[in-house]
Amino acid sequence: MRLNQKVALVTGGAAGIGKATVKRFVEEGAKVAFCDVNKEQGLALLDEVGSEHDFQTVNVIDRDAVQGWVDSIAKKYDQVDILVNNAGILRDGVFVKVKDGELVKQMSEDSFDSVVAVNLKGVFNCTQAIAPYMIKQNNGVILNASSIVGLDGNFGQTNYIATKAGVIGMTKVWARELGRSNIRVNAVAPGMILTEMVLSMPKDVLESFKKRPPLKRLGTPEEVANLYLFLASDEASYISGEVIRIDGGLVIGT
């Protein structure tokens, strides 16, 4: 019961790593408020974890909706202790492709802007909405979803990498700015994790991914959720401003 009597907010909480985090936090005693754009999946998870928790359909790019969500949770539970900025999307594509001296393909502006809006601006929106509550109570934990590609780069992910590197930068700034109010801010950088999206890949692609990390397997959403749990708990009370990889040693194995 490491999160007993804590109130945790999780964005993108209806599936994948977000869902695993919601369930893990519930197991450890937290009251969990989670949001997602997928109402059907969100309500199904709420039914699973129990009505003492909270689900709302919120798009993190909508500042007014985010503020309304945070305000409603603070009013309902009279505290906000943990924020997990998990919501994110992919719109992969090559930056530019030139054939015979002619440009034949490039990442679209819409693909860039949509990923930035969710993965970077969404983290900004949610954190800015909740920070005043945490400052007032002089306590809080903010956990941001980055990625190993935000540290190392990856082919075909200019937009995604820009956001995940940006999240690392914001994590560092907020750890400095909010630390004086006893608020810890950290980022988690997962490698290849067996989410629904990854599992939908062709079998041969999935098998090739499994061979890359030295541990010779992909991670699970539950393993990432366990890292979030540790960082959210008092066991990590002196850890702030860090980016923690969870990748099975992928980089040293490539």
Is residue 238 annotated as a catalytic residue, yes or no? no
The number of CA neighbours under 13 Å toward the Cβ of 143 is 29
C-beta pairs of 127-131 under 8 Å, 24+ apart in sequence: 127/83, 127/85, 127/170, 127/174, 129/63, 129/66, 129/67, 129/69, 129/70, 129/71, 130/9, 130/70, 130/80, 130/83, 131/174, 131/178, 131/183
Per the CB < 8 A criterion, the answer to whether 20 and 221 are in contact is yes
**CA–CA separation, 175 and 167 (whole Å):** 12
Give the phi and the psi of residue 149 in degrees, each rounded to 5: -70, -20
Q: Which of 77, 133, 160, 238 is catalytic?
A: 160
User: Which are the catalytic amino acids?
Assistant: 160
